[in-house]
Structure formats: C-alpha cells, structure tokens
Amino acid sequence: MTGHPEDALFAYQLGALNAEEANRVQNHLQTCVRCGSLLAQVGEDIAQLALTLPPVQPQPVIRESLLYSLSEINRFTELLAPLTEQLGKSAAETQTVLDRLDEPGAWSEGDLAGVHLHPVNDIPGATFVRLTPGTAMPLDETTRTTVLILQGTCRGTAGTMHNAGEVLQVQGDKPFDYIAMAGPDLIYLSRDQESSPS
Amino acid sequence: MALITLYDRYAPTLLALLQNILGASTESDELLQELFLEVWCKASTYQPQRGTVRAWLILRARERGLQMLEERDDLEPHEPPVAFLPPDWDPAIHPAEVAGEDPLFGQERAAVQRAVGALPRDQQRILAWYYFANTGPEAATKAFPLRPEHMFAHLTVAHQQLREIMHQTRR
C-alpha cells in the first residue's frame, strides 16, 4: 500500500486489515484531510448497510429507564474547569449552574427562531445559549463577547470549525459569522466582555 | 429532549444491529441503553465533518456490539445470524417498510436490501461476517479459509458495487 489508501478504507473501517496495514492507514489519516473525508463517506456506507435489517422495536421499559437515567446525569461535567474560570464561581457553584441546564423549563425562547436562552442569574451579561443546527449565533454588533462552547459544533469565519471546549472571542460585526452545524444543538456560554469583572 | 428524539428515530435500527451481533438477549437491550447514555454524555464530541449523526450512532453500536462479542467467554458462543438478508429473501415477500416507521426510511432500506441482494453469495457472506461477527484476525482465519488478500479483494469489490446504489438512495 503506497500513496493514498482509498481502496483500503472500507476494509479498514470494517476492521478487516491486519495490524500492520491498519497502522499504516491510521498514520496516513492523521495528516491527510482528503482521505479523512473519504473515510467519513465510507463510514456512511457502512452505517447504511445496517438498514438492510428489519427494525426491532425496543421494549418500552428501555425508553423509560433511559429517561430516568438522563435525569440523574449531567453531560457537561467534563467542562466544569473552563466554566468555573469563565463564571468566576467555585466548582460547586458552577456545577449547580450546570445542573439547572437540564431541568425542565430551563430554556426560554429567544427573539430569533432556533435560539433558546438561559441567563445566569447573578452574573450580568452571562447567558447560556442553545442554537438548533443551521441557526446563526446572535451577536451584538457593538460588544465583544467571550464564547465557551459546551456542546455541538459551529462554523466560524473562513469556514473554521469550532468544537466543545473551545473559547472564542467574537464580535457581531458581520451577520452569519458563526453558524451551528448539523448534529446536537450548539450550546455555549456567552459572556459580554463589557459586563465581565476586570 | 433531543436525545429521546434520536432514540425514537434510531433505536429500532440499532437494536436490530445489536441483536444480529449478540442475539436477541438482555445484553442487546442493556447495550442499547448504554449506547444512548454514552451519546448523551459525549454529544459534545460529535463532529459533523466526520459524518452524520446516524452514521455516528450505527458505527458506535457496531463497535460496542463486536467488543462485547469478543469479551464473551462462553464455551458455546452465540452464533450470530451473520447475514444481511434471510436465505429466502425476496423483495416481493419481505416488505422493507415497517408499520409506524417513516416511509422514506423504508424506501431507503428497500434500495439497500436490493443492492446487497445483488451481490454474489460469497461476497454477501464475507461482508456480513466482517460486519456482524468480526472479533479479530484469528476468528477470520477460522471462518474463511482464504488468503487475506483474497478477503480484501472481495470486500473492495463488494463496496464498489454497493457504493453507487447506496449514494443514490442516501437520505
């Protein structure tokens, strides 16, 4: 196998290559954007094959159990440290803020379609924002804003992708600068710099 | 809640996949639930440039199912069906659409079934084994007395034949 391993990507994704060949493909993928994109297409093909099977409706108890488990966990805990820094609160206080995000009725509809808001009560200018995919980030044209992404991906200026854990310094001088990409809703903490303590 | 929407949409496909790998057992049910909890906790790591949510879910379900199959130490392990289609599959007597399901999903399933059904039997068998039962090179050697390069060639040709039809029908 030399050059781009296009022909090997299907077998690679299925786990059908020997260890040496799999390592070679893996190493190539780390530096080749083109083959990374082809691998994503091969992944779609492999996923689509699962559709050949007649679907099996799960027992209702699995759904109920899942709902119960979801009420017991908070998925943002891994981002506790950067959030604590952004909010200037203790870890315990930040965890309480995070827990509220999953409470029923935590989000109110924003002025724009696809935008939901959850202001942080005691911090002026700090708001959690949830955007459905395809929605542009609502930005104030005059205020610089610090954004910490908690979930999802957004495409920024020049097509750059930004993922969970990233901190952006943004200003709304152009409409549609940052757009929530397909997948789970984009959730981020937005903090006006003018409102932040120095 | 977004996760429950995903569950309602994809759980029947994922459970069918897990049952093909692990058998219709409580193991498959438990893994289905674990999978969605994992998705909930790791939703922040999903990157759309690496594929659709559907592919993310199905590929992860397959990976977890095969891991669990490999970890089994049963003296008589479950023999998965190892087939995409039943031996007597015929589009006229096996309707692809399922009651209550999005009809477009059923149309896509019918097209993919036809594409797989058009593959030669040997290719179907090898592809299905790697899809549902691949627990490593040793198991592959036991399952097929073929040289690795021949297996690779079978998979590559099968993919080339499937790809065109699958790309046309993908939603």
pLDDT of residue B47: 74
Q: Which amino acid does the sequence have at B12? A: P
Q: Quote the mean pLDDT of chain A.
A: 86
Distance to chain B for A124, nearest Cα, Å? 26
Please give the structure tokens belonging to residue A29: 């993928």
Mind spelling out the 3-state secondary structure of A30-93? HHCHHHHHHHHHHHHHHHHHHHHCCCCCCCHHHHHHHHHHHHHCCCCHHHHHHHHHHHCCCHHH
Q: What is the DSSP letter of A179?
A: E
Global ipTM: 0.89
Cα(A120)–Cα(B170) distance, rounded to whole angstroms?
42
Tell me if A80 sits within 8 A of A94, measured CB to CB. yes
Taking only the tens place, the pLDDT of each residue in A131-183 is 988 898 888 777 888 999 998 889 887 788 898 899 998 876 565 678 998 87
State the number of CA atoms in the 13 A half-sphere of B42 facing the CB. 13
Taking only the tens place, the pLDDT of each residue in A71-110 is 777 778 778 899 999 999 998 888 888 878 876 678 888 8
- pLDDT reading at A195 higher than 70: no
Please give the structure tokens belonging to residue A33: 């954007």
Which residues from chain B sit within 8 angstroms of residue A59, using beta carbons? 29
**Smallest CA–CA distance from A62 into chain B, residue:** B33
B93 vs A: CB within 8 A = no
Provide the chain B residues 101-130 that lie in CB contact (below 8 A) with chain A. 101, 105, 108-109, 112-113, 116, 127, 130
- At B129 the three-state DSSP class reads helix
What Rg do the C-alpha atoms of chain A give, in angstroms?
21
Provide the chain B residues 13-32 that lie in CB contact (below 8 A) with chain A. 13-17, 19-20, 24, 29, 32
Please give the structure tokens belonging to residue A157: 């200026």
Sign of the dihedral through C-alpha A180, A45, B144, B24: positive
- For B60-97, b/e burial (b = at least 16 CB within 10 A) is bbbebbbebbeeeeeeeeeebbbbbbeeeeeeeeeebe
- pLDDT reading at A26 higher than 50: yes
pLDDT of residue B164: 77
Q: Among candidates B114, B66, B11, which has minimal Cα distance to A67?
A: B11
Higher pLDDT pick, A68 / A34: A34
pLDDT of residue B75: 46
Compute the average pLDDT of residues A13-34.
91
Q: Name residues whose C-beta falls within 8 Å of residue B90's C-beta, 6 or more positions apart in sequence.
A: none
Which residues from chain B sit within 8 angstroms of residue A165, using beta carbons? 44
Q: Which amino acid does the sequence have at B96? A: A
pLDDT of residue B74: 60
Please give the structure tokens belonging to residue A85: 């820094």
pLDDT of residue A40: 93
Q: Do B13 and A55 touch (CB under 8 A)?
A: yes
Which stretches does DSSP call E strand in A93-166? 108-109, 115-119, 126-131, 144-151, 154-155, 161-162
Encode chain B (171 residues) as per-residue pLDDT tens digits. 567 888 988 999 999 999 999 988 899 999 999 999 888 877 766 777 788 889 999 999 999 999 999 888 664 555 656 788 877 777 776 666 666 666 677 788 888 888 999 899 888 999 999 999 988 878 888 888 888 788 888 899 999 989 877 776 665
The pair phi, psi for residue B86, each rounded to 5°, is: -65, 155
Please give the structure tokens belonging to residue B169: 């029908």
Which residues from chain A sit within 8 angstroms of residue B159, using beta carbons? 10, 42, 45
- For A125-160, b/e burial (b = at least 16 CB within 10 A) is bbbbbbbebebbbbbeeeebbbbbbbbbbbbbeeee
Q: Which amino acid does the sequence have at A97? A: V
Cα(A23)–Cα(A26) distance, rounded to whole angstroms?
5
Distance to chain B for A66, nearest Cα, Å? 6
B10 vs A: CB within 8 A = no
Q: What's the pLDDT band for A130 if we cut at 50, 70, 90?
A: very high
CA angle B159, B164, B167 (to 5 degrees): 100
Compute the average pLDDT of residues A56-68.
91
pLDDT of residue A42: 94
For B47, which of A67, A153, A185 is closest by C-beta distance? A153
